[in-house]
Amino acid sequence: MYYAVTLEFDKESENKMQEMIDEVARVTGCDRMKQENVPPHVTVCCLEGDNDEALLSEMEEIAASMCKSPVRFANIGVFNPLVIYLGPIMNDFLLNTCRTVNERLLQYAEVGNKGNYLPNRWVPHAGIAVKLTPEALKEAFSIVQEKFRPFEAMAERIVLVKAEPYEEMRAWELKEQV
């Protein structure tokens, strides 16, 4: 089974990203994220395994130690030719979250997604469209280029999901910073 740990953001930021997801899906027909009801997010860890209980327990502890944090989305990126995304600026919060979640959860599962979500290999991103054709990527880029302006989002939740298909197992609200 595939798992992912994701960060989700404040409603205003999610709405901005969702508008882009919806418009790209409408124009290109590449609507996997919409069909699977995948909310806007940044994935910080991918795993393979079958120990739901241990992962949920460890995530409970991780989430209890985390505070909300700003994340600045500053660019449009592409994993050529399949994915278009919004790229956040790497900051201590993102880096530490990726490190902590991977270190602690890899006690109970194996590395997933070819290790692409491990610290020092991870490119943080919020996917706008996936499984694009080269032609759809051009259309998607044009849409996102027109709609995107850098913005600051607030990471408010950390979520453990079963991936492929997307199924939220549990979400934890992050604490207010003191």
Pairing of β 42-48 and β 2-9: antiparallel
Q: Does domain 2-173 have CATH number 3.90.1140.10?
A: yes
Burial annotation 115-153 (CB, 10 A radius, 16+ → b, else e):
eebbbeebebbbbbbbebeeebbebbbebbeeebeeeeb
| Strands 2-9 vs 151-163: parallel, antiparallel or unpaired | antiparallel
The per-residue pLDDT for range 141-164, each reduced to its tens digit, is 999 999 999 999 999 999 999 988
Domain extents in the chain: 2-173
State what percent of residues in the chain have pLDDT above 90.
93
Q: Is the model's pTM score more than 0.75?
A: yes
Tokens, residue 145: 């280029």
Per-residue confidence (pLDDT) for residue 56, from 0 to 100: 98
Render pLDDT for 54-79 as a digit per residue (tens, 0 to 9).
999 999 999 999 999 999 999 999 99
**Helix axis angle, 11-28 relative to 134-147, nearest 10°?**
140
**How do the residues of the chain divide into helix, strand and coil, expressed in percent and rounded to 5?**
35, 35, 30
**pLDDT range class, residue 81, cuts 50, 70, 90:** confident
